[in-house]
Chain A
Amino acid sequence: MCAIGVLLLGASIPAIAQSPAVVDVGISAARFTGDNVSVAGPQLRLSAAGVQRQFFEAIELGAMGTRAAAIGYVGLSAGVRTTPVAQVRHDIAVELSGVGTTASAGRAITALVGARSVYEQGPIGGWFRASGQAASRASDVFYGGSVEAASWWRVGRKQLTATLMQEWTRAALYAGPARSRPVGTAPVQYLEGGMSLRAESDAAAFNVAVTSRRDAGASHLFEPSLAATVLYWTSESTALMLAAAHQLPDYVRGLDALDGVSVGIRFGQASPALARPALRAAMIQFTGTADTRLVRIHIPDARTVEIMGDFTNWEPRPTTRNGATFESTMRVTSGTHRLLLRIDGGEWRPPGNTPAVADDFGGRVGLLVVP
């Protein structure tokens, strides 16, 4: 399964090359509690997501373990979302996932279609989601569905999220110490409530999620789960990672219950200090005449803003802060110009209120017309 994961890794990157990929490399140890099987060894994981106007897509794949016992997984999703109206937007997404493991019999492939309505008003929001899925297991196809409601609350750089979910599906029944002998199927229905907290500083991020599942068919009526991840950035896009989880079985996607811990390095994820300004759109405005054009860049909460373009001979120019606006005076002739902005020392990006065009070097620049 390791090999499958690695092959998929190589085959899938070009499809989403326009969005930055995050790669985790580390060592993991996991105990599949349903089978009493333990796996320990190297872990490789890749994830990437992209958004292009109304469309979004994501990929996640990876593998861990040794030749003796291993698990590999791949997930692809894509969808379309509507324009927000009265703080409400809707999205529809399809998801295809596959899981294979040597720790239990068979492999799982799941196709899922979900629709979600999201409400967001400042720091508070929530969503309602309904989905249906077809799950291929060893020799059967199970159909099921789920409904989920959630709400979140952001305070500063912390976000608290509460979720409540009901799922219906079926599960294959296996007998034997390694669950290697299929003996039938059984319906699965459970209610799960959870809370998660995400907190971050400029160089560290902490995520913890706890859930409680009420499942009449499980060995205990109520079962808890816990997942926690700590990231500490040692550079702009490289972080040390520590993760631990007590995970309940995912009957929809075919992931077994496990207790696991992993340590490693995450490459490609911008530190919170860099990612924070990237989420905000800087609005640029030029006024005045060609010789003394005043450039105003509006972006709340930024500490520094730099500008460069053909009119600066592509030399970065600092700006002066004036409240939520950063200003500079420079010579900008009438006509079309190409430019980029850098917020708080992050990546150079086109302004939020100009269309972007290819820069002939594999990147994008903002295209501006000055009267």
Chain B
Amino acid sequence: MTRLAGSGSRVMFLVMLAVVVTAPRATLGAQDFAYAASVADLDSATQSLLGKEIALAHARGLPVDPLIAKVREGRLKRAPGARIRAAVERLGERLSVAREALGAMSTAEEITAGADAISAGAQAASLRAVRAATGQPVTAAIGALAQLLASGVTEQKAMEMVLTLLRRNAVPAMLIALANQVEADVATGLSPTASAAFRLRALENQSGDAAATGALPGVVNVTGAANNGTGSAPRRKP
């Protein structure tokens, strides 16, 4: 009797797992193939748990592309299955927090940027503040926030910089260029605090129209993410 009960429980578990894993994934379309390719050489238990995690994220309305990319990244970096699972879970949590902070109507790009900002040290309150500051899409603003934090700028100072530009109706390229210029300053040896203070002062001293038209002082190469580090980095005064 005991042996039969045990076998029955096991069969039930496998059936439930198959339903949980396969049913939501059937709606993923092209992502399904990417996921299948990513986990092909993982053990079946890890595959099931990853599938469940991704299906759960999909059901909650979270973008699953970043999760699939994380699995693929882990495979390429030869991470063990448990570590990939933990990484996907952490990313899922970040995406969830970002979506909650940015609102249910957020785009996948905004949520992904939010998760990257959280990864760089942003609090959910900062994401909410960025969302509240503009009626425009906030992908670039939050991406810039993520870059500023990753460059070592404090969250308070990074938020000041981003909100100042948003208040001046800056175009996305301006927000990104500002973050790139701070990274270039830091790469040349300037402290993140000093760079942020300089850039913020420059923003506060310019007219509101300038940010919208692209005339951001001290910021070069605003057409993309490039910055060769040889721009107008400020120098310390002894």
Partner-B contacts on A (CB < 8 A): 53-54, 81-85, 89, 281, 283-287, 296, 298, 308, 310, 313-315, 333-336, 338, 352-361, 363, 367-371
Q: CA of A285 to CA of B151 in the docked complex: distance in angstroms?
A: 18
Interface residues of B in 164-202 (CB under 8 A from A): 171-173, 176, 179-180, 183-184, 186-191
Chain B residues contacting A285 (CB-CB under 8 Å) are 221, 224-226
Partner-A contacts on B (CB < 8 A): 34, 65-66, 68-70, 72-77, 79, 83, 86-87, 90-91, 109, 112-113, 116, 119-120, 139-140, 142-144, 146-147, 150-152, 171-173, 176, 179-180, 183-184, 186-191, 221, 223-229, 235-236
**A218 to B: closest C-beta gap in Å:** 42
Chain B residues contacting A368 (CB-CB under 8 Å) are 225
Q: A355-B183, A357-B150, A367-B146 are in contact. Are A308 and B228 (CB under 8 A)?
A: no
- When the two chains form their complex, are residues B139 and A352 in contact, meaning their CB atoms are under 8 A apart? no
Chain A residues contacting B87 (CB-CB under 8 Å) are 360-361
Of B144, B147, B184, most buried by chain A (CB within 10 Å of CB) is B147
Chain A residues contacting B139 (CB-CB under 8 Å) are 334-336
- When the two chains form their complex, are residues B184 and A353 in contact, meaning their CB atoms are under 8 A apart? yes
**A329 to B: closest C-beta gap in Å:** 14
Q: A286-B226, A371-B224 are in contact. Are A352 and B187 (CB under 8 A)?
A: yes
- When the two chains form their complex, are residues A363 and B77 in contact, meaning their CB atoms are under 8 A apart? yes
- When the two chains form their complex, are residues B109 and A333 in contact, meaning their CB atoms are under 8 A apart? yes
- When the two chains form their complex, are residues A84 and B189 in contact, meaning their CB atoms are under 8 A apart? yes
Selected from B74, B140, B186, B189, the residue in CB contact (under 8 A) with A369 is: B140
Q: A353-B180, A369-B140 are in contact. Are A85 and B69 (CB under 8 A)?
A: no
- When the two chains form their complex, are residues A356 and B229 in contact, meaning their CB atoms are under 8 A apart? no
19 A-B pairs within 8 Å (CB atoms) are namely A53-B152, A54-B189, A54-B191, A81-B189, A83-B235, A283-B227, A284-B225, A310-B65, A334-B140, A335-B139, A336-B139, A353-B228, A356-B150, A357-B119, A358-B119, A361-B74, A361-B77, A361-B87, A371-B172
- When the two chains form their complex, are residues A353 and B140 in contact, meaning their CB atoms are under 8 A apart? no
Q: A314-B76, A355-B183 are in contact. Are A334 and B120 (CB under 8 A)?
A: no
Of B83, B112, B190, most buried by chain A (CB within 10 Å of CB) is B112
Selected from B120, B191, B229, the residue in CB contact (under 8 A) with A367 is: B120
Contacts A336-B116, A353-B228 given; 9 further ones with Cβ under 8 A? Answer: A53-B152, A54-B189, A81-B189, A83-B190, A284-B226, A315-B76, A334-B109, A353-B229, A369-B113
- When the two chains form their complex, are residues B229 and A335 in contact, meaning their CB atoms are under 8 A apart? no
> At the interface, is chain B mostly helix, strand, loop or mixed?
helix
Chain A residues contacting B235 (CB-CB under 8 Å) are 83, 85
Selected from B66, B73, B171, B227, the residue in CB contact (under 8 A) with A359 is: B73
- When the two chains form their complex, are residues B229 and A281 in contact, meaning their CB atoms are under 8 A apart? yes
Q: CA of A53 to CA of B192 in the docked complex: distance in angstroms?
A: 10
- When the two chains form their complex, are residues A335 and B225 in contact, meaning their CB atoms are under 8 A apart? no
Of A84, A89, A314, A333, most buried by chain B (CB within 10 Å of CB) is A314
- When the two chains form their complex, are residues A283 and B229 in contact, meaning their CB atoms are under 8 A apart? yes
- When the two chains form their complex, are residues B77 and A355 in contact, meaning their CB atoms are under 8 A apart? no
**A296 to B: closest C-beta gap in Å:** 7
Q: CA of A371 to CA of B90 in the docked complex: distance in angstroms?
A: 26
- When the two chains form their complex, are residues B70 and A360 in contact, meaning their CB atoms are under 8 A apart? yes
Q: A357-B116, A367-B116, A371-B140 are in contact. Are A310 and B228 (CB under 8 A)?
A: no
- When the two chains form their complex, are residues A370 and B224 in contact, meaning their CB atoms are under 8 A apart? yes
- When the two chains form their complex, are residues A313 and B191 in contact, meaning their CB atoms are under 8 A apart? no
Q: CA of A173 to CA of B109 in the docked complex: distance in angstroms?
A: 73
Closest to B111 in A: A335
Selected from A54, A296, A361, the residue in CB contact (under 8 A) with B79 is: A361
**B149 to A: closest C-beta gap in Å:** 8
- When the two chains form their complex, are residues B189 and A367 in contact, meaning their CB atoms are under 8 A apart? no
Chain A residues contacting B180 (CB-CB under 8 Å) are 353
Q: CA of A187 to CA of B187 in the docked complex: distance in angstroms?
A: 46
Q: CA of A319 to CA of B88 in the docked complex: distance in angstroms?
A: 30
Q: CA of A336 to CA of B144 in the docked complex: distance in angstroms?
A: 9
Q: CA of A370 to CA of B144 in the docked complex: distance in angstroms?
A: 10
Chain A residues contacting B184 (CB-CB under 8 Å) are 353
Closest 4 CB pairs of A and B: A285-B226, A369-B143, A355-B150, A83-B189
- When the two chains form their complex, are residues B113 and A85 in contact, meaning their CB atoms are under 8 A apart? no
Q: CA of A313 to CA of B184 in the docked complex: distance in angstroms?
A: 27
Closest to B109 in A: A335
**B99 to A: closest C-beta gap in Å:** 15
**A23 to B: closest C-beta gap in Å:** 22
Chain A residues contacting B173 (CB-CB under 8 Å) are 371
- When the two chains form their complex, are residues B225 and A370 in contact, meaning their CB atoms are under 8 A apart? yes
- When the two chains form their complex, are residues A369 and B76 in contact, meaning their CB atoms are under 8 A apart? no
- When the two chains form their complex, are residues B236 and A85 in contact, meaning their CB atoms are under 8 A apart? yes
